Structure 1
Amino acid sequence: MTCIADANVLFSLLVEGHVAHEVARGWWDEQPDGAVGTCLLTRLAVLRLLTNRVAMNGTPVTPTEALGAWGRLGNDPRSVHVEAEPAIHESRFISLVSGRESTPNLWTDAWLAALAMSLDYEITTFDRGFKSFRGLRLRLLSMADK
């Protein structure tokens, strides 16, 4: 089964000192080749976090180093880049945000959920907020998975 990994999983995987690194690494190590989807949205989020002083506990990496880390992840045989969303993505995205209250991550989470649903993929994340998207196949990682 192919999943789309949320940025919080990929960021935790790439940052060895991150509190969730062991959980993300354990999940990653179980994945077969071609099983983990990434997309432009997750790529940009991870690059932003890697170069953010707060997210990196005062030691952000340079943009060049961030691109290198993403390149290593993208070149791993387990990783598959999802180039374009299916035609039904837009209508699913609209249906996932319509009628909701605005939250800080609504737009990006709904976009990612719609992409996964359109491809019949699962989302792998630490973010429990994805549970609100009815019909989304979800794998919630947790610190209890250590």
Structure 2
Amino acid sequence: MTFLLDVNVLIALIDPGHVAHDDAHHWFASTGRNAWATCPITENGVVRIVGNPKYPNFPGSPALVMEIVGKLRSLPGHCFWPDDVSLVGSGNVASAKILTSAQVTDTYLLALAKVHGGQLATFDRKLSTAAVTQGNSALHLITAK
């Protein structure tokens, strides 16, 4: 099983001050490290959030954050999934079940994981799987201690 790491999981892995840093590292060491993925949306999300000077543990410019993401990608077990799924016209997505714009990215990442035969790894307990056909099977909730 390959796990697509969502933005919060990636940030928790690279930011020692993140509230879920230890949980992310524990999960990654025990479960995720053998087969894990990123995609343009998750990588760009990390760069956008962590590269913002208002981010609490701002390490520097977006260029520096891109280097950090690049180092993370060089770890064993990583694969890169291109954004090769569309919510529009997808047989895996019931568009009528996307109720708010806030659900779009999560639904997309869940659909991407499903299409690639993996699971979306997240801390987000409120993520709705309703819009993706058999979405529950493509979701992996990481336990926080």
The bucket for the TM-score relative to the shorter chain is 0.7 to 0.9
Q: What's the secondary structure of 1:128's corresponding residue?
A: coil
1:20 is aligned to 20
In structure 2, the CA distance between the partners of 1:16 and 1:87, relative to structure 1 (3 Å rule), is closer
In structure 2, the CA distance between the partners of 1:59 and 1:119, relative to structure 1 (3 Å rule), is closer
In structure 2, the CA distance between the partners of 1:66 and 1:93, relative to structure 1 (3 Å rule), is farther
Aligned-pair CA distance for 1:103: 4.3
The amino acid of 1:138's aligned partner reads L
2-structure distance, mates of 1:115, 1:86 = 6
- Whether the 8 Å contact between 1:12 and 1:21 is mirrored in structure 2 is yes
1:115 is aligned to 112
- Whether the 8 Å contact between 1:92 and 1:114 is mirrored in structure 2 is no
Q: TM-score if structure 1 supplies the norm length?
A: 0.82
In structure 2, the CA distance between the partners of 1:60 and 1:52, relative to structure 1 (3 Å rule), is farther
2:74 is aligned to 75
2-structure distance, mates of 1:86, 1:100 = 16
In structure 2, the CA distance between the partners of 1:7 and 1:87, relative to structure 1 (3 Å rule), is closer
Alignment partner of 1:100 is 2:98? yes
Aligned-pair CA distance for 1:79: 1.4
- Where does the alignment leave 5 or more consecutive residues of structure 1 unmatched? none
**Runs (4+) off by over 6 Å:** none
Instruction: Give 1 or 2: higher helix fraction.
Output: 1
2:58 is aligned to 59
1-structure distance, mates of 2:71, 2:110 = 25
Query: What CA RMSD, in Å, does the superposition of the two structures yield over aligned residues?
Result: 2.4
- Where does the alignment leave 5 or more consecutive residues of structure 2 unmatched? none
Q: TM-score if structure 2 supplies the norm length?
A: 0.83
Count of residues in correspondence between the two structures:
140
1:140 is aligned to 141
Aligned-pair CA distance for 1:110: 1.0
In structure 2, the CA distance between the partners of 1:140 and 1:48, relative to structure 1 (3 Å rule), is same
Q: Identity of paired residues, percent?
A: 28
